Structure 1
Amino acid sequence: MEKFEKLSGVAAPMPMINIDTDMIIPKQFLKTIKRSGLGVNLFDEMRYDDNGEEIPDFVLNQPAYRDAQILVAGDNFGCGSSREHAPWAIKDFGIRCVIAPSFADIFHNNCFKNGILPIALPQEQVDLLMDEAQKGANARIEIDLESQTITTSDGETISFDVDPFKKHCLLEGLDDIGLTYEKSAAIDSFETRSAAERPWV
């Protein structure tokens, strides 16, 4: 998994509440078990019309936000079903951080497992960053995970909380498999000892 240390990028504003996982990646795209290739279908029903043409007014179709790496959204982001395809699609599009007043628990945990930093902030701070995002490509937001700070283009700094263990995993680029590999020496030692002590197994 790619490490997350610092991120400086354009933030796309999506001031909608209750953006659920079916809105993030509709059910017809859940057949794949690959983590790549879903970015083109991110927010599919809001992003394209019935003929598959881009809807110009949708934020990620606008020139200023096509390469957005940060998403500023409304309350209860990622609610609905527990599909892990939702963070897969977000990451594949290129978004590494989602900022909202609150997140659904399962989506929140799935983000960390897929290299995405979800940041929950009080509504007034989200509103400030939403205003910042409305400035488009001229305003870049910087996120420093180590110091747990967000810096706006005007130099204003906002602090955020993050679970220490999840922070460690993101900084080191460790998903569940990576965490297991960290213990590979201890696992090998155990298997060697177990084979000597219980050769009949």
Structure 2
Amino acid sequence: MYKIHGDYNSGNCYKLKLMLSLLGQPYQWVPVDILKGETQTPEFLHKNPNGKIPVLEFEDGTCLWESNAILNFLADGSAYLPSDARLRTQVLQWQFFEQYSHEPSVAVARFIQFYLGLPAERAEEHRRKLKEGYRALAVMEQQLQRTPFLVAEQFSIADITLYAYTHVAHQGGFDLTQYPAISSWLERVRAQPGYVGMLD
């Protein structure tokens, strides 16, 4: 059985929780408190020398880290990762977009507001992250005006990747009401068989 070392409030950890639920795959959750420095202990760093969650641990003690890499591993051979090379590459395209354009703004704004309580010394950074995040959300909105899911007609790990932080973007101060296509897409993701919420 897999072990997930993570934080239930983390979008990156939630990606794996949602993926395993959709697959009907059992796992053991090992809670990690990042604010208490638990990702920097020698024991944790042995599992992931980069000192970040989530970590997927196998029964033999070996580990995988980086949420999107783990998603690709878990989804391999399933309907959630297309076998067609072009569609598979489009999945990767959105995963790279998430890591370089979406997560650094949307997730960081949420961390500052939701985790830290929006301290005054980070208010300017938060405003900057909102501006960058709205730019990323606009890219998603354009695609979702054309197709029901991020990769054409098929729900995939591209959607899981970007759903994780988008569906809690309001906790970072984002107003999603101006993105009707994203709002409809969020509902379609929640309607997937096997769906589980972040804190369910």
Q: What range describes the TM-score normalised by the shorter chain of this pair?
A: under 0.3
TM-score (norm 2): 0.24
Higher percent of residues as strand: 1
